[in-house]
Amino acid sequence: MTKSMNNQQPVFMESRRTFLKGTAYSVAGATLAAGAFKKIAETPAVAENSFTATPKTLSFYPPLEQWDSFTELDGHDWKRGGTLRNGVGSVDNPNGIKATEYMLVPLICSNCEAACGLTGWVDIGAYKQSKDPKDLKVRKYMGNPLHPASRGRNCAKGYAVQSQMYDPDRIPFPLKRAPGSKRGEGKWVRTTWEEAMQTIGKKMHDTLKSGDELSKKSIMYHVGRPNESGFGHRVLYSMGVDGHNSHSNVCSAGTRQGLTHWSGDDRPSPDWANSKLIFLQSSHAADAGHFFQQHAGFIADARKKGAKLVVMDPRMSNSAGMADLWVPIWPGTEAALYLYLVNRIVNEKDPKTGRDYIDHDFMKQWINWDVFIRDTEYLEFIVAQGYISKLPEGGSYEDFIKILREMYAPYTLEFAAKECRVDAATLSKLFDMFIEGGDKVTTYFWRAGTIGNRGGWMNVRAGVLALALRGCMRGDVGNVGCYGFHEIFINAKGDAATEAGKKPEKVDAWNELLFPPDFPLSTNEPSYLLPHLLADEAWQKKWADKGLNVPQKIAVYIPRMYNPVWINPDGFRWIEVLKREDKMELTFNLSPTWSETNWYCDYILPTGLAGERHDQHSEATKPARWLGFRQPVLRVALEKMGWKPTDPAKATLEAHMKAGLGEIWEEIEFWANMFVHYVDPDGSLGVKKHWASKEDPSRPVTIPEWYQAAFDHVHHLKAAASKNPKYANSKYPNYEMMRDMGAWLEEDNIFRPQERELKNENGVIESMEMKFDASTLTVEPNGVVKAKVAGSEEVKAMGLILGDKVVEGFKSSSRKMEFFASWMKEWKWPEYAIPIYPVTKEQREKMVHIVSQIHHDHMQKENDFALNPIFRLPYNIHTRSVNSKHLMEISQNHNPIWIAASDAKRLNIKRGDAIKVTITDTVSGLESGYFIAMAVPTEGILPGTLACSHHAGRWKLQNAIEIPGFKEKLGVMGMGAPLYEMTMDEKMGTLKPKQGIDAGLMERKNSWQFKEYNRDIDNVWWDGLSGSWQNAVAPAHPDPISGAHAWHQKVSIEAAGKEHKIGDIYVNYDNNMKVYQAWRDKLARPLDSTNTTRRPKELKRPVWALTDKAWSVNIRD
């Protein structure tokens, strides 16, 4: 090879020199050699072992059979030359490479909603020798190769579970506000689980004892990302309480509202991997979007096969950066863009074939055009509205198409370009790509576009229409399906293991704090309004006068691993209400870490992180049904090695204490113990029976009992466990199989599920996971099939006649996709019963309910901007990542305020400048205050808009707290929150940075917890002062229809003064209350005497059933 190359490269030989003849070099040159070699006289014998010198692949997981004992070489020793050099370490070969014996315990990540699989690698070698459980350590968290959707892979947050587990500032035991101190004073004492449960249990018992209507609204459980499939709901409903509150509204009510109008299902389920065009709205895929790591993987699979990616977002997100087309759109105008696509789809023909672009087969069969075209009264209404010029000639499908052609004709290229501020060439290209995608276009409506804007739900109405017209909503290979077909929701279904043996009854109360009468169409609970509802006594009185029994206080408020103070708008209002003991009588957070909210609670009860708790968790991340099983890895490891708890109903708590993790518990065991021993010890409230074990009603149900029963609802899982010889002698085969595997694929490749034929099996028909009595089946004129729910008198729609078959259909009341949500007429919003968007300024003023509060109409001054605060950062999750050293390090300085280079130049703003961002409401005209942020000019954002993620800007008011009688100080969010100074006076609030994270940690670098994992604390270099708590400045913006908080804000910017530092905030939260009230009073259409139910039956309440009495309402005008 050398010679031939020399021949081909004569240039290298032209200056050929001789190096030896006639030359003597100075000896000094010889001493230059680096000395990388050392000579070893004796090589130790290389022991026989199972290790290869180099792994063959990087996706290295041992087979399942070896998970109970798998020995792996220590990574640090590879640089010593691998096992061929020194062999494997042992007593006889102390210089050999260290080999660690692991037990791999599967679990599910809990850092976001995606439910990716993990394995906890528990170091069991040391424990086997010492028999001391404190030697049991989790050395790393890796993926779970058995997980059908995460496929052994994880994002940064998954691997960070270990740094969260061994966070030096995690809460090690139950804490209680010091007697005599006020909430928020920062004085704490150590307490026991026993004391906390006694005190809280008595309060809950006394609250429930009266049994009146208000008692059923006085206990509230408030979850952030629940990351489990239904258990939290059962906690409340087993008490007969309507008190389950969640963050779902504030993160996604726009999408959920829009999709529910269409299909009765509130989330999409795309088959990314087989699609040809991935058309994303807002930030997704590579940006930590919903179901981030799994979706990103499937999108990568599709792109590998040639799929194109379009990202529609005013900000050039990571996804947009790698997309084939970036569509920087003015936020809140997405509906106009979708209707532009609709116009061209319905009014143009394919020039190659001369055929319509419309997929008539799908539209004719699966869209409720028949209801629309036959509703003459409504057609007359839309003629009067000016949507169409005249009534259709007839009632055929063709007449329906003619209406579409007329109604959407105004959404021209010229209109869309002007309204969306997107250049016409980009819009044309988008249309071409959309058409080229055929029926294999996928999307996920989520985040900024749908939740940032008033009327964001209409984006979804319009977007689905464009997709449906092309046949992309069929749930087929490569297009978009419905969430409900792809999920397994059974975490609350352990009823058979309880003394009662059945599901608790329907709840007989309607809590106005959860579903207020002002927003009867609200999707999920507008939980961000809780402090406003509690504080606004005039509102309470108004509705009391109208005949509602509105709660004025909450007896027991239970945030669950949730931080409402920090993540919701108008944070000072939250603090104000949390501090008031007349509004929230007793509060406790089930939380593994400190948070801004915990600071104002009465108790902090440390429940576990991802690897420290049991949950069943399933999400629709692909067209399949899978479930994951989260587990406390140390407990499982101990039990597998023969350890037995003293009290099997408290095994997780005991295991964590034994293993030195702290007094860390989990919710399932906690609540079962609470109800059986403390809330309802004598069973008089009727609650105990739902939590006492069927095997022994004197004690709470245990984890194996609960999950054996819950997994019985998963047919193939149950069958596989019962057939597996490994579990032949087990009392709990379902539980044990899932304990070993951690993930289960129940059904794969679920396509066009709405076309599944319903089967009559022994007089029972199963549809949408409900059982119906086949003998009661009736068919409506529109083909909808109804029947009685088995074992009850309730009649429900269960299917649809399709040809000569009865098929499942969609979840809507017509069992079709509803272009026309006819029920909107009765609920006072007829103008928005179909996908629509105003075309003129006059129309925008009239249809203000679906026009964004930051529409460019509102940008009057040269320094006015539309601010997008809601894009995720890939390595942060609102509350939970703050205690991860690893995640905090990689997320530093990544959260400036993005401003277009042209705007920055115009306003003389330079990179790194501190700018003052003042928020003004466009409904009331009131100013909310300002925050100070660091500007970074960029070409990656649409001029006139700004972006600054609200995922940064954590704060604390003390670096550490002292616990009387406990020699160590407890650090407070040492890795992720700088120290601030706060003032608040019931009207104005301020926050000013006082000390950075690095300096705060240096003061206590010898943190006492988990020293082995935190030897590098003195290497912490970040001060964390790159974000502001902008949520506190932002007022609540309730969407009059979806109830969503419209997150985007109209702001004006200017250079910060010398008195300001990045991180400063100033809030007029008195004004913020008025902003909320203005949105409510000027825009909403509340319940009145014409209503007989609390909300449309078409908009179900998640997740539990309420009685008809609870649903009914009689408002006095």
Partner 1 sequence: MTIEDIENRTVLYGLISRLMMMEVDKTFLESIHRDEAILEMFPNYKAWSKHQELSMDMLKEKYYDVDFANLFLMHLVPYESFYTREDQMIESGGDNPVIALYNALDFRVELDKARVVSPDHIGVELEFMYLLNQALKKAYEAKDSEGIKEILEIQRGFLKDHLLEWAPLFLINMKKEAQTPLYHDGAELVLEFLLSDYEYIVKQINGYREN
Q: Which residues bind partner 1 (CB under 8 A)?
A: 1-2, 5-6, 9, 12, 15-20, 23-41, 43, 53-54, 78-79, 81-85
Residue with smaller CB distance to partner 1, 97 or 241: 97
Residue with smaller CB distance to partner 1, 15 or 860: 15
Nearest distance, CB of residue 24 and partner 1, angstroms: 6
Nearest distance, CB of residue 53 and partner 1, angstroms: 4
Nearest distance, CB of residue 80 and partner 1, angstroms: 8
> Helix, strand, or coil here: 280?
strand
Structure-block tokens of residue 351: 């020039």
Nearest distance, CB of residue 93 and partner 1, angstroms: 16
Alpha-carbon span 243 to 961, nearest angstrom: 32
Interior/surface letters 1090-1114, b for 16+ CB within 10 angstroms, e for the rest: ebebbbbebbebeebebeeebbebe
Residue with smaller CB distance to partner 1, 21 or 967: 21
Structure-block tokens of residue 562: 């949730």
Nearest distance, CB of residue 761 and partner 1, angstroms: 54
Q: What are the distances in angstroms from CA 104 to CA 73, 200, 758, 927? A: 15, 37, 41, 55
Nearest distance, CB of residue 1015 and partner 1, angstroms: 20
Residue with smaller CB distance to partner 1, 16 or 967: 16
Work out the burial of residue 75: count CB atoms within 10 Å of its CB; fewer than 13 is exposed, 13-18 middle, 19 or more buried: exposed
Alpha-carbon span 859 to 776, nearest angstrom: 59
Report DSSP letters for 327-375, one per residue.
Answer: E---TT-HHHHHHHHHHHHHH-B-TTT--BSS-HHHHHHHB-HHHHHT-
Interior/surface letters 1011-1031, b for 16+ CB within 10 angstroms, e for the rest: eebbeebeebebbbbbbbbbb
Nearest distance, CB of residue 98 and partner 1, angstroms: 16
> Helix, strand, or coil here: 668?
helix
Nearest distance, CB of residue 90 and partner 1, angstroms: 19
**In terms of DSSP bridges, do strands 277-281 and 441-442 run parallel, antiparallel, or are they unpaired?**
parallel
**In terms of DSSP bridges, do strands 219-223 and 244-246 run parallel, antiparallel, or are they unpaired?**
parallel
Residue with smaller CB distance to partner 1, 32 or 91: 32
Do residues 443 and 450 lie in contact, with contact meaning Cβ atoms separated by under 8 Å?
no
Contacting residues for 92 by C-beta, under 8 A, at least 6 apart: none
Residue with smaller CB distance to partner 1, 2 or 749: 2
Establish how many alpha carbons lie within 13 A of residue 296's alpha carbon, considering only the half-sphere containing its beta carbon. 20
Alpha-carbon span 686 to 241, nearest angstrom: 12
User: Closest by alpha carbon to 913, among 932, 931, 927?
Assistant: 932
Count of residues making up the chain: 1117
Nearest distance, CB of residue 21 and partner 1, angstroms: 9
Report DSSP letters for 520-577, one per residue.
Answer: TT-SS--GGGHHHHHH-HHHHHHHHHTT----S-EEEEEEES--HHHHSSSHHHHHHH
- Helix H, strand E, coil C: the string for 131-145 is CCHHHCEEEEEEECC
Residue with smaller CB distance to partner 1, 25 or 582: 25
Radius of gyration of the chain (CA): 31
For the four alpha carbons of 877, 881, 882 and 886, in that order, the dihedral sign comes to negative
Nearest distance, CB of residue 271 and partner 1, angstroms: 32
Structure-block tokens of residue 131: 């028999």
Nearest distance, CB of residue 47 and partner 1, angstroms: 14
User: Closest by alpha carbon to 788, among 808, 773, 799?
Assistant: 773
Q: What residue ranges in 595-672 does DSSP mark as E strands?
A: 603-605, 615-617, 625-630
Nearest distance, CB of residue 282 and partner 1, angstroms: 35
Work out the burial of residue 555: count CB atoms within 10 Å of its CB; fewer than 13 is exposed, 13-18 middle, 19 or more buried: buried
Residue with smaller CB distance to partner 1, 24 or 728: 24
- Helix H, strand E, coil C: the string for 737-753 is HHHHHCEEEEECCCCCH
Residue with smaller CB distance to partner 1, 97 or 404: 97
Residue with smaller CB distance to partner 1, 30 or 538: 30
The kind and range of the H/E element at 103 are: strand 99-108
Residue with smaller CB distance to partner 1, 74 or 862: 74
Nearest distance, CB of residue 710 and partner 1, angstroms: 45
Do residues 76 and 845 lie in contact, with contact meaning Cβ atoms separated by under 8 Å?
no
Nearest distance, CB of residue 1021 and partner 1, angstroms: 22
Nearest distance, CB of residue 30 and partner 1, angstroms: 4
Nearest distance, CB of residue 22 and partner 1, angstroms: 10
Backbone torsions φ then ψ of 1093, nearest 5 degrees:
-125, 160
Residue with smaller CB distance to partner 1, 26 or 729: 26
Residue with smaller CB distance to partner 1, 87 or 172: 87
Beta bridge partners of 585: none
Residue with smaller CB distance to partner 1, 36 or 384: 36
Residue with smaller CB distance to partner 1, 37 or 351: 37
Residue with smaller CB distance to partner 1, 38 or 1058: 38
User: Closest by alpha carbon to 897, among 875, 913, 879?
Assistant: 913
Nearest distance, CB of residue 257 and partner 1, angstroms: 50
Nearest distance, CB of residue 10 and partner 1, angstroms: 13
Residue with smaller CB distance to partner 1, 29 or 642: 29
Interior/surface letters 834-873, b for 16+ CB within 10 angstroms, e for the rest: bbbbbbeeebbeebbbbbbbbbbeebeeeebbbbbbbbbb
Residue with smaller CB distance to partner 1, 20 or 91: 20
Beta bridge partners of 761: 764
